[in-house]
Amino acid sequence: MNILLIGDSSRLYMPYLNNYEKLLIDNQCTYTLLHWDRFNIDDSNNEFRYIDGKIGHKRNMIDYYRFSKFIKRILSKNEFDKIIVFGIPILLFIGGVLTKRYRGNYIIDVRDYHKIVKVCNLKNIIKDSAYTVISSPDYKKWLPDNDKYLVNHNLNIDNYNDCLDESIKNRLKLNISFIGATRDYEINIDLISSLSESKCIDVYYHGEGDINPLIDEYIKKKNVKNAFLTGRYSKKDEGILYHKSDLINVLRLNDSINNETALPNRLYNAAYYCKPMLAYEGTYLSEIINKYNLGLVINTFENLEMVIKNYFDNFEYDKYISGRAEFLNMAINDNKKFILAIKSFLNEQSD
Residue 73 lies in a domain: yes
Cβ neighbours of residue 124 closer than 8 Å, sequence gap 6 or more: 95, 99
Indicate the residue among 136, 152, 168 that finishes a domain: 152
Residue 180 lies in a domain: yes
Long-range contacts of 67-75 (CB under 8 A, 24+ apart): 67/8, 67/36, 67/93, 68/93, 68/94, 70/34, 71/6, 71/34, 72/97, 74/4, 74/34, 74/48, 75/4, 75/101
The CATH number of the domain holding residue 30 is: 3.40.50.2000
Does residue 184 sit in the same domain as residue 35?
no
Mean per-residue pLDDT over the chain, rounded: 94
Does residue 102 sit in the same domain as residue 176?
no
For 35-94, how does the pLDDT look when each residue is reduced to its tens digit (9 = 90+)? 999 998 887 767 899 999 899 888 999 999 999 999 999 999 999 999 999 999 999 999
Confidence label for 151 from pLDDT (cuts 50, 70 and 90): very high
Report the pLDDT value the prediction gives residue 235, as an integer from 0 to 100.
Answer: 87
Range of the domain at 231: 160-325
Report the pLDDT value the prediction gives residue 171, as an integer from 0 to 100.
Answer: 78
Report the pLDDT value the prediction gives residue 298, as an integer from 0 to 100.
Answer: 98
For 237-250, how does the pLDDT look when each residue is reduced to its tens digit (9 = 90+)? 999 999 999 999 99
| C-alpha span between 330 and 277 (Å, rounded) | 18
For 174-228, how does the pLDDT look when each residue is reduced to its tens digit (9 = 90+)? 999 999 989 999 999 999 999 999 999 999 999 988 899 999 999 999 999 999 9
Indicate the residue among 91, 119, 152 that finishes a domain: 152
Structurally, how many domains does the chain consist of? 2
Does residue 164 sit in the same domain as residue 306?
yes
Indicate the residue among 152, 174, 206 that finishes a domain: 152
Residue 334 lies in a domain: no
Report the pLDDT value the prediction gives residue 21, as an integer from 0 to 100.
Answer: 92
Report the pLDDT value the prediction gives residue 1, as an integer from 0 to 100.
Answer: 84
Report the pLDDT value the prediction gives residue 59, as an integer from 0 to 100.
Answer: 92
Q: What is the pTM of this model?
A: 0.89
